[in-house]
Amino acid sequence: MPEVTPMMRQYFSIKERNTDCILFFRLGDFYEMFGDDALTASKELDLTLTSRDRRAEDPDEKIPMCGVPYHSAEGYIGRLIAKGYKIAICEQLEDPATAKGLVDRDIVRIVTPGTLIESSMLDEGKSNYLCALYVGALDNAACFADLSTGEISVSYFSGADVGHLLNEVAAFSPAEAVLNAGAYENGELHHLLSDKLGCLWQQDDGRFDPAQSLSRIAGQFGVTSADEAGIGGSPAAVCAVGALLSYMADTQKTDLSHLSNLRINSGGKFMELDIQTLRSLELVSSSRTLEKKGSLLWVLDKTKTPMGRRLLRSWVLRPLVSTVEVGRRLAAVEELFSETVLRSELMLTLRNVGDMERLIGKIVYGTAGGRDLKALQYSIVQLPKILALLAPMKSGLMAELKKIDDLQDIGALIAKTIEDDPPFSVREGGFIRQGVSEEVDYLRGLLKDSTGAMAAIETKERERTGKKLKVGYNKVFGYYIEIPRALSDNVPGDYIRKQTLSNCERFITQELKELETTLLTAKDRVAALEYEIFADLRERIASEVGRIQATSYSVASFDALCSLAETAAKNNYCMPEVDMSGVIDIRDGRHPVVEKMQTESLFVPNDTFMDMDGARTLIITGPNMAGKSTYMRQTALIVLMAQMGSFVPARSARIGVVDRVFTRIGASDDLSAGKSTFMVEMTEVAEILKSATSRSLLILDEIGRGTSTYDGMAVARAVLEYCTDRRKLGAKALFSTHYHELTAIEKETGGVKNYSISAKKRGGDIIFLRKIVPGGADDSYGIEVAGLAGIPDSVIKRAKAVLAALESDRKPASAPSKKPEPGDGQMTLLDLGGSEIAETLKKTDLNTLTPLEALNLLFELKKKI
């Protein structure tokens, strides 16, 4: 290997300690990358690749090299993080201008997907979680933290089963995970983190040491024991929290004091939802586009602040199970719902509030700039207005949230110190207000009027010496006092002769030299002083992190509650009655998302009644496309909305709290795991039957359709009976099926009711009425639906012949022997059910139509379609 310079030896030494990261090595105004890091970065960022020693003749002696400007590095880092890389930031720890020899450098931060705090790299409406997962023989736990906001929580579960842990991870959807050996060896966790969540994860078993974990918890949260922290009963929780704190300390290398309040998620506070339910009910993203539009969150989100948006998202993902807590939230929404003018004014005010949670996170981290502090100040300015608007609110939750610190002392401190429009960088000065520092004001005065300072010295020296003199400047000698040769005798003793000219003498004094030094260094000195003042201000605000976080949470709550009230008012929702009755009684319920997406026609509302006695299970039959899945999903969504404290899309609703909602809707092959559609379906059903309780709500769509008819029907009936039987499960279930034979269970088993989605035939067409009615369906209308889908008419005719043969218990007629007529295999308007339209067009002479007649004809054809 060729001999390397001291700087490159320093680089290789630091890189050796961070082999899993791309090293951004600070050299002057650039972050440079070398070797394999340079090759990777140049490829991923489309950077020009050069070499460290271009003069070397041997290619092996040339070290690949590329770099990015330090002031624009954030964008490049964000792109690498998005591709799954980790970045180690290596900074110069001393000023190169004053350093003796090699500049001291070291890692100041490791940036990973789960430790981002930069707004440009984060989705403002979604929390960015880092998690630590511990799976042990007796219990398991997950600790989650969002470094950008200071949120940290832990969930723990007893027993060796990781089902609850999987659901918790699915709900939080972390960007990065640290695993102990037990978690790393669990195949289900692997599949969830890698294939379903796309999460960066690694095993780091050494961080989960119980004794070290307990020590870290004590230091971080100021407690003396795990019991005091609230996790004394779970060794797994202690290890998970300790491991996460260890990972954050090692990667961030800075103050983590904003992670001060450990929240305990366990204890049945929230409804547990599995990933299948989250996706099939499309709670926060559409299953088709993976975007927010088309989801329940999209319908409900009218928030005005980023922190309110994140809080509302967490409410959607974590519905409540306590009727008291649900009632408190509903009462707050009702108050805001009733006060239309107040709600509108509050939302206008909230629009001016910034992301206080992430701003204080950046302040504690020490990465906040002047503009960030001003954004916090402008947000604080809105707090008295918000509190004044909320003064009439009397509900328990609103009264509690109103007891917030208005932070006016912090806002005043920022306003007094920072200019209204500070520059982007805090290293170049120009943002500290006049009057904050006497020295800064004096130096600014010198920089602004250096001529005046020289004139003052000139006047002073003339009075002192009584001689005609002047103060001048040149680049060689700097500032000097010039006296004519004839008057140059008997000058004061502190005058130092600097230059003799033919007609004058030039002198300097200590005062003039000091002023010269001050003037020449004033700009840099002002910038340094301003940064010191700013850093001190930032530190003072960081010390108030607890106050700011508490106020931020209240403002986010006001925003989320306002959003629910605004949605209810605009969409004609009603306030549900939530109790422990076990009854689900919904009158004129509507699907909240389909209703908003369906803009060309009115949504047909339907009733739902379920209880723990005579109507535990509803069997839903009817043709495909008639709305069975929509009806079942809308029931589940209304239940979830009610338990998150939202009004619901119905004329009235009474919701008996359910502990879990399970869905089995649709399935596909899991080829990577070697599972067929039916295997995937049965695996999901097995998990539901294992995890559900008598207080759960099950949404089961066409169980058994992935195998032969009789096998499928047998499985479907067995599952249906198991769900209904109180001795086995006895849960409330909505069960859709095309096996009409299953409707006979209503007469054979208690607690089962048959319903169907009504449809009518008109000639060869089918009309979906979208209305659910008591009783089973009399027909599946499968052939008619196939016709609507555009299946060629010849195929439809053959299908009808086969169906007639099957229904009359005869052997299906053999295929017709005649040759197919021309066009039999082609799609036509006739195939699409448009025979009447086709006939009208055939009879119309387009050459004789007036424009008005053409428009009328088009209107009539549209009506027929």
408-422, 562-576, 782-796, range with greatest mean pLDDT: 562-576
Question: Is position 801 annotated in a ligand binding site?
Answer: no
Residue 672 has pLDDT above 60, yes or no: no
| 663 and 554 housed in the same domain | no
Tell me the pLDDT band of 669, cut-offs 50, 70 and 90: very low
Q: What pLDDT, in 10s, does the model give residues 309-347?
A: 999 999 999 999 999 999 999 999 999 999 999 999 999
| 531 and 459 housed in the same domain | yes
Q: What pLDDT, in 10s, does the model give residues 47-94?
A: 989 887 655 556 666 889 999 998 889 999 999 999 989 999 999 988
Tell me the pLDDT band of 829, cut-offs 50, 70 and 90: very low
Question: Is position 249 annotated in a ligand binding site?
Answer: no
Helices marked H in 366-449: 370-390, 396-401, 408-417, 438-448
Instruction: Give φ, ψ of 379 to 5 degrees.
Output: -70, -40
pLDDT recorded at residue 826:
43
CA distances from 790 to 636, 746, 764, 839 (A): 32, 36, 14, 18
Q: What is the dihedral of CA 443, 445, 449, 452, to 10 degrees?
A: -100
Range of the domain at 509: 438-535
Residue 609 has pLDDT above 60, yes or no: yes
pTM as predicted: 0.84
Residue 691 has pLDDT above 80, yes or no: yes
Higher pLDDT, 265 or 807: 265
Which residue in the block uniquely carries the two structure tokens 């007639």? 804
Question: Is position 622 annotated in a ligand binding site?
Answer: yes
- The amino acid at 778: D
Residues facing residue 32 across a β-bridge:
25, 67
pLDDT recorded at residue 443:
81
Higher pLDDT, 196 or 556: 556
| 628 and 765 housed in the same domain | yes
pLDDT recorded at residue 671:
42
Q: What pLDDT, in 10s, does the model give residues 87-123?
A: 999 999 887 777 788 889 999 999 999 999 888 899 9
The enclosing domain of 309 has a CATH number of 1.10.1420.10
CA angle 367-371-374, nearest 5°? 115
Indicate the helix (H) or strand (E) that contains 643: helix 628-643
For 549, counting Cβ atoms within 10 Å of its Cβ (0-12 exposed, 13-18 middle, 19+ buried), the class is buried
Indicate the helix (H) or strand (E) that contains 842: helix 835-843
Q: What is the average pLDDT value for the chain, to the nearest integer?
A: 86
User: Which of 429, 378, 387, 420 lies closest to 405, judged by CA?
Assistant: 387
Strands (E), 743-809: 752-762, 765-774
Which residue in the block uniquely carries the two structure tokens 């930031």? 89
Question: Is position 628 annotated in a ligand binding site?
Answer: yes
Residue 293 has pLDDT above 50, yes or no: yes
| 736 and 811 housed in the same domain | no
| 70 and 45 housed in the same domain | yes
Give me the mean pLDDT over the 809-819 stretch: 47
Strands (E), 215-358: 262-264
Residues facing residue 762 across a β-bridge:
765
Give me the mean pLDDT over the 524-541 stretch: 89
Query: Is 274 within the bounds of a domain?
Result: no
User: Which of 733, 674, 726 lies closest to 703, judged by CA?
Assistant: 733
| 239 and 136 housed in the same domain | yes
Which residue in the block uniquely carries the two structure tokens 């299946």? 791
- CB distance 599 to 569 below 8 Å: no
Query: Is 415 within the bounds of a domain?
Result: no
Burial code (b: 16+ CB inside 10 Å, e: under 16) for 403-416 equals ebbbbeebbebbbe
Query: Is 96 within the bounds of a domain?
Result: yes
| 126 and 98 housed in the same domain | no
Gap between the Cα atoms of 235 and 232, Å rounded = 7
Query: Is 294 within the bounds of a domain?
Result: no
Burial code (b: 16+ CB inside 10 Å, e: under 16) for 373-382 equals bbbbbbbbbb
Residue 2 has pLDDT above 60, yes or no: no
Least confident of 120-134, 541-555, 803-817, 823-837: 823-837
User: Which of 402, 410, 343, 422 lies closest to 380, judged by CA?
Assistant: 410
Query: Is 292 within the bounds of a domain?
Result: no
For 275, counting Cβ atoms within 10 Å of its Cβ (0-12 exposed, 13-18 middle, 19+ buried), the class is middle
Gap between the Cα atoms of 340 and 702, Å rounded = 44
Strands 478-484 and 584-589: unpaired
Question: Is position 294 annotated in a ligand binding site?
Answer: no
Q: What is the dihedral of CA 517, 521, 526, 532, to 10 degrees?
A: -100
The enclosing domain of 34 has a CATH number of 3.40.1170.10
User: Which of 165, 170, 243 lies closest to 204, judged by CA?
Assistant: 243
- The amino acid at 22: I
pLDDT recorded at residue 596:
92
pLDDT recorded at residue 580:
94
The gap between the terminal CA atoms of the chain, to the nearest Å, is 78
Tell me the pLDDT band of 813, cut-offs 50, 70 and 90: very low
| 670 and 757 housed in the same domain | yes
Share of the chain above pLDDT 90, in %: 49
| 378 and 453 housed in the same domain | no
pLDDT recorded at residue 232:
85
Tell me the pLDDT band of 832, cut-offs 50, 70 and 90: very low
pLDDT recorded at residue 835:
60
Question: Is position 623 annotated in a ligand binding site?
Answer: yes
Residue 386 has pLDDT above 90, yes or no: yes
Higher pLDDT, 102 or 657: 657
Query: Is 401 within the bounds of a domain?
Result: yes
User: Which of 566, 504, 505 lies closest to 304, judged by CA?
Assistant: 566
pLDDT recorded at residue 424:
83
Question: Is position 626 annotated in a ligand binding site?
Answer: yes
pLDDT recorded at residue 592:
96
Token pair recorded at residue 492: 């004061």
| 814 and 763 housed in the same domain | no
pLDDT recorded at residue 97:
74
| 855 and 813 housed in the same domain | no
Token pair recorded at residue 160: 């060796």
Query: Is 584 within the bounds of a domain?
Result: yes
| 341 and 208 housed in the same domain | no
Tell me the pLDDT band of 828, cut-offs 50, 70 and 90: very low
The 3-class SS string of 125-162 reads: CCCCCEEEEEECCCEEEEEEEECCCCEEEEEEEECCCC
Query: Is 359 within the bounds of a domain?
Result: yes
Question: Is position 827 annotated in a ligand binding site?
Answer: no
